Amino acid sequence: MSNLQDKKNNTLTITAKPSNKVSGNILVPGDKSCSHRSIMFGALAEGTTHISGFLPGQDCLATMNTFKAMGIEIEGPDSEHNVTVHGKGLHGLSKPEALLDIGNSGTSIRLLSGILAGQRFETRMAGDNSLNKRPMGRVITPLQLMGANITAASDGTPPVVCSGLAADEKLNAIDYLLPMASAQVKSCVLLAGMYANGTTSVTEPGITRDHTERMLTAFGYPVKSIETEQGKKISIEGGHKLTACDIQVPGDISSATFFMVAGLIAKEGQITIRNVGMNPTRIGAINILQQMNGKILVTNERLAGGEPVADLVVSSSPLKGIDIDERDVPLAIDEFPAIFIAAACATGITRLRGAEELRVKESDRIQAMADGLVELGIDCTVYPDGIDITGGQLTSGTVESHDDHRIAMSFAISSLRATGEITILECDNVATSFPNFVALANQVGLTLIPNN
Ligand code: S3P
């Protein structure tokens, strides 16, 4: 997407009016991480993969279009969010005719880098204004260690250019210690490892989401993991194959978090959120919000398609500020903008540290949230790796979302406790992860008015 298109498309403002009560029984859309991987692994598998619960957000559609551009036939998503992928095996992709447009999606560009590093044709990837500023060195470094012919711009940002392997070349297996707790980097290296000679290992310094390991296993590709002194070490041997299967994508806990926080901060009411993914590497927000005194009841726990899911019953609660446990940071990494709203509505101070990764998400989420909260009358102190938020009274005002879907949705739910209207600018990117957010929010009792 060009910068011009970015500007033209970014015209959606949301006006959020105060409201007191929430109630409802809702389903949130499919998990973004699982939806991306289901397309990628389905494309690289032998046979036809059926996906249900796919997230029809722009990020996952970007992944889908990328594989279509490399010769993979994909049907859907239909109105029930089913997708069919006609896989062509690990060596079945073909050279795309043009640059691959990745839009806003960091997960797509980083996981694709690992897959494309193993191909024998040239590819180029870039995205929108936000993605084109994000660091790619974290995936380029290990891929170059594996012998991949892959580069980013001199400042480490997209475009990512992969000139492909020569006919007699293969990637070399590496034993890589991740410099940061990142599931995207771990997944990138493991996916490249499928194309390498020998066994590639990645050790993570903190627990990160394990959807890649789980889903590769579901597709029949062997993945091993052991605990080491430096952290969990995950290993993959090159040369095995993926076999098509059926994937049930659970509801996205990251999207559910906006409604958890809405249910907790509303002056009255209860929201039930059904079929939420409860993968243990993703439940940091529930841990944190429960420690803040949030009433979140986890019910009906079950397994669906290899991932644990549950229904969450969330009730209005008097929240208290806490010192967030650093071990919960990678387990809640996408949920902090919403958690910051809970902190703004809590009594006392909430302190977060060890979260410098928040500065390189779709926006600098520490600064973007602090700026908006201060505009709405909340006291914040910003640190390089975190923030202190003193709970108080949210007022009214205009906040920037910095093109970041999760910043936009977080300020939208903050209206439940504001004294006046909140105007949120640049909200188009809400559609990257949660296309029906405004409708669902209004259904449970918020008053969000989108204006183009
Ligand atoms: C993701 C990993 C996380 C997360 C992103 C999705 C994934 O990024 O923030 O939204 O699907 O692997 P990092 O790995 O950079 O922490």
> From ligand 1's centre to the CA of 115, what distance in Å?
17
Total domains in the chain come to 2
Task: Report which ligand 1 atom has the smallest distance to the Cα of 181.
Answer: 16
**Among protein residues, the one whose CA lies closest to atom 11 of ligand 1:** 33
Structural tokens at position 30: 């499919």
Q: Which of 219, 244, 269 is the last residue of a domain?
A: 244
> From ligand 1's centre to the CA of 407, what distance in Å?
16
Is ligand 1 within 6 A of the CB of residue 333? yes
> From ligand 1's centre to the CA of 11, what distance in Å?
27
Specify whether 164 is located in the same domain as 306: no
Determine, yes or no, domain membership for 228: yes
**Which of 182, 254, 407 for a ligand 1 pocket mutation test, highest count of atoms within 8 Å of Cβ?**
182
Specify whether 403 is located in the same domain as 420: yes
**Which of 59, 178, 184, 253 for a ligand 1 pocket mutation test, highest count of atoms within 8 Å of Cβ?**
184
Determine, yes or no, domain membership for 101: yes
Q: What secondary structure letter does DSSP report for 291? A: H
Structural tokens at position 278: 């409860």
- Does position 332 have pLDDT exceeding 50, yes or no? yes
pLDDT recorded at residue 452: 79
Determine, yes or no, domain membership for 440: yes
Structural tokens at position 257: 């978090």
- Does position 91 have pLDDT exceeding 90, yes or no? yes
Half-sphere exposure of 155 toward its Cβ, with a 13 Å CA cutoff? 5
Structural tokens at position 202: 């990645």
In terms of residue numbers, what domain contains 203? 32-244
Specify whether 316 is located in the same domain as 447: yes
Is ligand 1 within 6 A of the CB of residue 433? no
- Does position 8 have pLDDT exceeding 60, yes or no? no
Is ligand 1 within 6 A of the CB of residue 182? yes
- Does position 361 have pLDDT exceeding 60, yes or no? yes
pLDDT recorded at residue 186: 98
- Does position 3 have pLDDT exceeding 90, yes or no? no
- Does position 286 have pLDDT exceeding 90, yes or no? yes
Q: What secondary structure letter does DSSP report for 358? A: G
Is there a contact between 250 and 272 (Cβ–Cβ < 8 Å)? Answer: no
Specify whether 148 is located in the same domain as 268: no
**Which of 333, 357, 360, 434 for a ligand 1 pocket mutation test, highest count of atoms within 8 Å of Cβ?**
333
Instruction: Please state the pTM of the whole predicted model.
Output: 0.96
Q: Is the dihedral of CA 435, 436, 438, 441 positive or negative?
A: negative
Is ligand 1 within 6 A of the CB of residue 187? yes
Specify whether 385 is located in the same domain as 262: yes
d(CA 59, CA 79): 18
- Does position 111 have pLDDT exceeding 60, yes or no? yes
Determine, yes or no, domain membership for 350: yes
Is ligand 1 within 6 A of the CB of residue 33? yes
Half-sphere exposure of 259 toward its Cβ, with a 13 Å CA cutoff? 35
Specify whether 226 is located in the same domain as 339: no
Q: Is the dihedral of CA 157, 162, 163, 169 positive or negative?
A: positive
User: If pLDDT is split at 50, 70 and 90, which confidence band does 2 have?
Assistant: very low
Half-sphere exposure of 340 toward its Cβ, with a 13 Å CA cutoff? 37
* Percent with pLDDT over 90 in the chain: 96
Half-sphere exposure of 348 toward its Cβ, with a 13 Å CA cutoff? 10
Active-site annotation holder among 128, 328, 334, 404: 334
Task: Report which ligand 1 atom has the smallest distance to the Cα of 360.
Answer: 15
d(CA 145, CA 156): 16
Specify whether 73 is located in the same domain as 56: yes
Task: Report which ligand 1 atom has the smallest distance to the Cα of 187.
Answer: 12
CA 217 from chain center: how many Å? 21
pLDDT tens-place string over residues 157-194: 999 999 999 999 999 999 999 999 999 999 999 999 99
> From ligand 1's centre to the CA of 107, what distance in Å?
6
Task: Report which ligand 1 atom has the smallest distance to the Cα of 33.
Answer: 11
pLDDT recorded at residue 251: 98
pLDDT recorded at residue 11: 84
Is there a contact between 281 and 313 (Cβ–Cβ < 8 Å)? Answer: no
Determine, yes or no, domain membership for 1: no
Task: Report which ligand 1 atom has the smallest distance to the Cα of 186.
Answer: 14
Determine, yes or no, domain membership for 155: yes
Determine, yes or no, domain membership for 2: no
160-162 vs 397-400, strand pairing mode: unpaired
Q: Active site includes 78?
A: no
User: 159: cis peptide before it, omega within 30°?
Assistant: yes
Q: Quickly list DSSP for 48-108.
A: EEEEES---SHHHHHHHHHHHHTT-EEE---TT--EEEEEE-TT-----SS-EE-TT-HHH
Residues in the chain: 452
Q: Which of 244, 264, 290 is the last residue of a domain?
A: 244
Specify whether 238 is located in the same domain as 375: no
Residue 211's H or E segment, with its range, is helix 211-218
Average pLDDT, the chain: 96
Hey, which bits of 394-446 come out as E strands?
Answer: 397-400, 422-425
What are the distances in angstroms from CA 44 to CA 89, 132, 296, 314? 4, 26, 39, 39
- Mean pLDDT (whole number) for 216-241: 97
- Mean pLDDT (whole number) for 32-59: 98
d(CA 234, CA 227): 9
Helix (H, G, I), strand (E, B) or coil at 330: helix
Q: Which of 178, 211, 244 is the last residue of a domain?
A: 244
User: If pLDDT is split at 50, 70 and 90, which confidence band does 70 have?
Assistant: very high
- Does position 328 have pLDDT exceeding 50, yes or no? yes
Specify whether 206 is located in the same domain as 302: no
Specify whether 335 is located in the same domain as 447: yes
In angstroms, how far apart are the furthest CA atoms of the chain?
A: 67
Specify whether 309 is located in the same domain as 367: yes
> From ligand 1's centre to the CA of 405, what distance in Å?
14
Specify whether 221 is located in the same domain as 324: no
pLDDT recorded at residue 9: 59
pLDDT tens-place string over residues 250-259: 999 999 999 9
**CATH code: domain of residue 417:** 3.65.10.10
- Mean pLDDT (whole number) for 124-130: 96
Which residue do the tokens 């929108």 mark? 128
Is ligand 1 within 6 A of the CB of residue 356? no
Which residue do the tokens 């084109």 mark? 132
